Amino acid sequence: MKFNVVSNDDGEAAASNDPKSQIESLVSSAPVFLFMKGSPDAPQCGFSSRVIETLRGWNVPFETFNVLSDEGIRDGIKEYANWPTIPQLYVNKEFVGGCDIIEEMSGNGELGELFKEAHPNLEFTPPPPPVEVQNLPPEDIAELLKKQPDIPLLDVRGPEERAIACVAGARMIDQALAQEIVNSWDPNIPLVFMCHKGGRSLQAAQYFTQQGFQNVYNVVGGIDAWSLTVDSEIPRY
């Protein structure tokens, strides 16, 4: 899939200081155009990252503009589209929507129809649906980690909970690490998620399957069950 990044001093968009004129030039510059935060290889917000993954899933050529590089366009695009948030996707110069709408249209096939209109000479195949999270009991996860110690065990709990009880080798996942995983980790590597009793970690695991990760595990019962079945020296709380 091909994409290009348009800077704020490229082409006709720089010919005018009027944000509306710049925006019109940008949306006219490619059949599929995305206003986002950051770049396709380094999104700077989770919603932009999700839209990039959706576009990549369709293997559609597109261009992008980083609104963080130009305050006038960042503010102007919200008024231009009458849409308060970023990212914003345009197809054939028509505003399509933001992250949730794009994902919904991708799921029901409407986005593919728009891409066919934008690129009539290309064939588009719907991306496969996200894989299911593999919910396993702590003893099975412990055996998996014993056999493959390089698999990251990601703890979604905060520092206060981790100070009470923590599995050796578990890594706390915060927003910065989550973004790093989405942006730069191999989507085929296994990921294991843990929390106190398994609910929060399941939500985190489902998020990463939606980002394209193919081998995602959740510790059923969390560290509480781990203490009961794997390591009784870990305190319960």
Q: Where along the chain do its domains lie?
A: 3-118, 134-229
| CB-based contacts of 51, cutoff 8 Å, min separation 6 | 34, 36, 87, 89, 99, 102, 103
The fold of 3-118 is Glutaredoxin (3.40.30)
Does the pLDDT at position 12 exceed 90? no
* Of 216, 215, 219, nearest in space to 198 by CA: 219
Structure tokens at 164: 């009470």
Q: Is the peptide bond before 87 cis (omega within 30 degrees of 0)?
A: yes
Q: Which of these ranges, 12-16, 18-22, 140-144, 222-226, has the smallest mean pLDDT?
A: 12-16
pLDDT in tens, 28-39: 999 999 999 999
Does the pLDDT at position 4 exceed 80? no
Q: Which residue is it, tokens 């695009």?
A: 77
Which pLDDT score is estimated for 10? 46
Structure tokens at 61: 């050529």
pLDDT in tens, 178-200: 989 988 898 889 999 999 999 99
This prediction has a pTM of 0.62
Q: Which residue is it, tokens 């206003």?
A: 35
Share of the chain above pLDDT 90, in %: 78
Which pLDDT score is estimated for 119? 97
How many C-beta neighbours within 10 Å does residue 46 have?
Answer: 16
Cα-atom radius of gyration of the chain, to the nearest Å?
21
Q: Tell me what the mean pLDDT of segment 93-111 comes to.
A: 95
Q: Tell me what the mean pLDDT of segment 121-149 comes to.
A: 93
CB 66 within 8 A of CB 38: yes
Q: Tell me what the mean pLDDT of segment 174-179 comes to.
A: 93
Q: Tell me how far apart the alpha carbons of residues 191 and 131 are, in angstroms, rounded to a whole number.
A: 13
Indicate the DSSP class of residue 156.
Answer: -
| 195 has catalytic annotation | yes
Does the pLDDT at position 3 exceed 90? no
**Which of 45, 99, 166, 195 does the annotation list as catalytic?**
195
Taking CA atoms, 189 is separated from 128, 150, 230, 232, in Å, by 18, 10, 24, 29
Among 1.10.357.10, 3.10.20.310, 3.30.365.10, 3.40.250.10, name the CATH number for the domain at 134-229. Answer: 3.40.250.10
Taking CA atoms, 117 is separated from 31, 56, 188, 214, in Å, by 9, 17, 32, 31
Does the pLDDT at position 11 exceed 50? no
Given this chain, do its domains 3-118 and 134-229 carry the same CATH topology? no
pLDDT band at 5 (very low <50, low <70, confident <90, very high): low
